[in-house]
Structure 1
């Protein structure tokens, strides 16, 4: 998107870019329409900090001008950068660790290929944790037939996830056996980094999927869906709609894993709570 430079005075807070109340309100509307993300009033400084990089890149001083140019170019690639900037990516290997033994128990002994959907893959730590769990539960040969769809709306996060490269310090937080089995340490120019072994990468299909979009480009059904710590950014209406849309993508005995701060017991009657932030289908008559 070619945006010419312009000059503007500093805003009242002494910052070099001008973000008015109307600009912030419009940004909140746009990201909700595009991704279903709800931004509270206390996120204003976060919005300024993340989008300021885009304005400076294009030589713009007013958020209003940036937003106007976005509006005039609905197909511009800058929309992708706008969405990426306002997406939060907080993740770690084996985050909320109680879920992974449950997944291993759930798939153990299955003869048909296991399929798992990680619906908020971020920079890849979660889907790679799922892949490690499947290898440990099924054995390398059977796990190689498993397929994990790892999706996210943030294309920058997905690009990092596809590389499978992480700081060695982060990887060494795992137990030593997993580090040796599933990672390759970098050397020379790659010293201080570690790469996920190819056999794990080959189990995962990374793709961009917007949970707020009317269509999801993926198959099903899945043995498990991981949708953790993303619904907290949506309002109740969007949460209920997405949960209902999960139903045909989950096998009748499938598991839905959610985040520690997400409770959907009273939000959707299609699921029932099985354990700590783990749901199963309610199996309503007529399903």
Structure 2
């Protein structure tokens, strides 16, 4: 124990995680969330979990493991454990060619499909799967609202999901620093962003007209059906499957296939590919696939 610099309080030393404990946690995280935790991640996991130990007043990783692996711990702590191990990096209009493909090719193709069969009265459904702090679904909302303005009768709804409750809460608040919005085109900024009354805070909020178009939901990709009933026209799942092994990637793609309309589109990240996976998709663009 050491003393605090300016007080007589005793500061407990940081505990360490044994290799056996890391193996238990990494297997548990893989089984529950599909996320790979190789040995090189041990230091990262150990550091990130220190806050959970402090919050729970737990003094060792052995004690924390006993809690997490219990029935009570699984119910109460699993969400927090997944929150601290997931990486959430995103931007507005990230990989902009995807949004260009969306309005130039994907939407017209799906509208043709509807003209040939499905009721045109149903809204165009798009799912941001792994939405992080919300930049992606709000980008979708801007792009689709602009498309709707020039295509009378076009209606849409956006589902935004993530496994991390912390980022979902942040996304639903729709509040960002002005710096975070630098990648949004100026005309869209003026139209869809509201500045804080206190300009010194440097904050903006997404306009209500866009917020009303998005529903947020916690989804674990390891679940069989995600709790989602409606089939989607488009799914964006970008920079997510890089954390999964090939078997988990293939299983997830087959689930996405079931949740897409016939001919629906799947967008993945710039460093990801479906090559080598036995899944029923055909590549139709740069990291863009269509459901067979």
Matches within 5 A, 1:124-163: 124-139=134-149, 145-163=155-173
Partner residue in 2 for 1:254: 264
Change (3 A) 1:205 1:138: same
- Higher share of residues assigned helix: 2
State the alpha-carbon separation in 2 of the partners of residues 152 and 166 from structure 1: 18
Whether contact under 8 Å (1:8, 1:62) holds in the other structure is no
Partner residue in 1 for 2:3: none
Unaligned 5+ residue runs, structure 1? 1-6, 11-15, 283-287
Deviation, structure 1 residue 49: 1.7
Change (3 A) 1:39 1:187: same
- TM-score normalised by the chain length of structure 1: 0.88
Partner residue in 1 for 2:132: 122
Matched, 1:107 2:107: yes
Deviation, structure 1 residue 191: 2.9
Query: CA offsets, 1:25-77, max 9 Å, x none?
Result: 11101111111111122111211121111011222231111111122224542
The alignment's C-alpha RMSD in Å is: 2.2
Whether contact under 8 Å (1:172, 1:179) holds in the other structure is no
Whether contact under 8 Å (2:234, 2:264) holds in the other structure is yes
Count of residues in correspondence between the two structures: 271
Partner residue in 2 for 1:79: 78
State the alpha-carbon separation in 2 of the partners of residues 32 and 142 from structure 1: 46
- TM-score normalised by the chain length of structure 2: 0.87
Matched, 1:179 2:182: no
Whether contact under 8 Å (1:18, 1:61) holds in the other structure is no
Unaligned 5+ residue runs, structure 2? 1-9, 112-119
Greater CA deviation, 181-190 or 98-107?
181-190
Deviation, structure 1 residue 268: 2.4
Partner residue in 2 for 1:211: 221
State the alpha-carbon separation in 1 of the partners of residues 184 and 203 from structure 2: 14
Greater CA deviation, 273-282 or 260-269?
260-269
Deviation, structure 1 residue 8: 12
Whether contact under 8 Å (1:222, 1:251) holds in the other structure is yes
Partner residue in 1 for 2:28: 30
Change (3 A) 1:149 1:248: same
Q: 1:54 aligns with which of 52, 55, 58?
A: 52
State the alpha-carbon separation in 1 of the partners of residues 151 and 191 from structure 2: 15
Whether contact under 8 Å (1:150, 1:207) holds in the other structure is yes
